[in-house]
Structure 1
Amino acid sequence: MTDVELHHHGNVAEIRLNRVAARNALSTQLAEELAKAAAAAAQKARAVVLSSAAPTAFCVGADLKERDRLSDADFMAQRLVFRRAFGRLREMPVPVVAAVHGHALGGGYELALCCDLIVADETAVVGLPEVRVGIVPGGGGTQLLPRRVGYGVAADLILTGRHVPAAEAARLGLVDRLVPAGKDIESAIELATQIAANSPVAVANARNAIRRGLDVDLAAGLDIEDSAWRATVFSDDRREGVRAFVERRKPNWP
């Protein structure tokens, strides 16, 4: 049995964390398998779901028992593996939806932050508690969370290390959709399927414009949007989309 499984639902790939006994604690092996699964999912899917097979957790963060046995050199070697895994997920060429239930803490919540959208069920608890054990978030948390919710909320979460239950997480924008308990994976796959049904060219260009526009002023952002519009409007997808609308049928994206 592997620590990460890859499943397919039509045009949607599901990357499922499967280190169940450890509640998906991030070990070196899990990180290596996650990087490989992300690369494989990106080859064919139009959207990806990151989910968990563990019944009470999405991912509880780094495997501190493993880390306690590492030398400083081993720790740095693991760091490279972890950066590669988080980077592969963050840089996926298609949209990624996290399906979160139970605890998503530390590196576990950072995995969700690497995704475009986070669907959480009512059992979800998120947080970045690294400062409680003498470290700082290292999977992108200090950069991704402020971009998602602003400085104040991010500082509150990161500097206290507190755990945030699902309802408050949804109110603060720490997750995007809140669904009934046990419905996170089903709802995330439905959302990913809805995204995958749209023009791959338009989705990719729109997503790229959103991401690139986060760190520039409005004028520069509008130029980025104009470039995305031009790249899309002269594509075969645009021609097929308009033709399908006129003919009242579903598009067959080229």
Structure 2
Amino acid sequence: MTERRFGAHVALRTHGRKGAVAEVVLDRPQAMNAISTDMADALADACAVLAEARSVSAVVLTSTGERAFCVGADLKERNSFTDTDLARQRSRMRALYSGVLELPMPTVAAVHGFALGAGYELALACDVIVADTTAVVGLPEVSVGLIPGGGGTHSLPCRVGAARAAQLIFTARRVPAHEAFVLGLVDVMADQGGDRSDALALATEMAAHSPVGLRAAKRALRQGRGADLHSALAVEDAAWHAAAFSGDRAEGIAAFNERRTPDWPGE
């Protein structure tokens, strides 16, 4: 494993011989991983590096500390903000969420403890959410005079439907792990303390497959979501062509017929 730091509170780790799985670590446990302006910048910078990392096939978003994955934006920092300060921070927070959403490879969030507001939106920006039994998730922004601003008003309805998302957002309700799993707010349940290991195992399973295929499949899933049938199928067709005429497809078919493990060129 190798590690690179982005500021004081974000680490980027790569796992495996070729570093096919990357782990982005929220590392501010003394503040329950609340996202300060500096931390938002660091996370956006880490995502920018990953977006260009052709060797990375899957990303896991994890955190340190036992009490929380991330409790959201740092409201203690914002307590002294002027309106101008808040407006300046807004663009930087948007850059963070865009950075996670636009990662071209599959992403998995490993959630334990509190994942609230901007913290839960970080998880929602990932493709799959693994949560342990201590997890509590929610978008409570209306309780402090705000609304979800990290994509939550879009991503939550995509997961659970418009009416249920409205109910959860309007009531600012915090949902415990097992109920969250039943409602589809999280995707995979892990034993207590097992969210990180299970998420890394899932990402490793994904990363064993074609890098070109994974990125093309993610592009089709993301760009086709919410589109009309004709447009969604056009997106899928474009992604299919990108994979079908790649070196990965040729290697995958050859390895299948030769009954061996593929050595993906990733091109």
1:2 matched to 2:13: no
The structural deviation recorded for 1:220 is 2.5
1:166 matched to 2:177: yes
Runs of 4+ in structure 1 off by over 6 angstroms are: none
For the 8 Å contact 2:104–2:219, the answer to whether it is kept is no
Which residue number corresponds to residue 51 of structure 1?
62
Which residue number corresponds to residue 77 of structure 1?
88
User: RMSD of the TM alignment (CA)?
Assistant: 1.1
1:225 matched to 2:219: no
For the 8 Å contact 1:100–1:124, the answer to whether it is kept is yes
The structural deviation recorded for 1:233 is 1.4
Q: Map 1:116-127 to 2 at 5 A.
A: 116-127=127-138
Q: Distance in 2 between matches of 1:22 and 1:48?
A: 24
Q: Distance in 2 between matches of 1:230 and 1:45?
A: 22
Q: Distance in 2 between matches of 1:82 and 1:54?
A: 23
Counterpart pick for 2:38 among 7, 14, 29? 29
The structural deviation recorded for 1:149 is 1.4
The structural deviation recorded for 1:113 is 0.6
State the identity as a percent: 55
For the 8 Å contact 1:50–1:99, the answer to whether it is kept is yes
The structural deviation recorded for 1:224 is 2.1
Q: Map 1:8-157 to 2 at 5 A.
A: 8-10=14-16, 11-42=20-51, 43=53, 44-157=55-168
**Structure 2: which 5+ residue stretches go unaligned?**
1-6
Q: Distance in 1 between matches of 2:97 and 2:37?
A: 12
For the 8 Å contact 2:104–2:218, the answer to whether it is kept is no
SS at match of 1:123: coil
| TM-score of the two chains, using structure 2 as the length reference | 0.92
**Structure 1: which 5+ residue stretches go unaligned?**
none
The structural deviation recorded for 1:33 is 0.8
Moved more, 137-146 or 36-45: 36-45
SS at match of 1:76: helix
Q: Distance in 2 between matches of 1:243 and 1:18?
A: 43
The one-letter code of the counterpart of 1:164 is V
Q: Distance in 2 between matches of 1:133 and 1:238?
A: 51
| TM-score of the two chains, using structure 1 as the length reference | 0.97
Q: What do residues 131-184 of structure 1 show as CA deviations (whole Å, max 9, x unaligned)? A: 011111111111111112110111111010000000111111111101111110
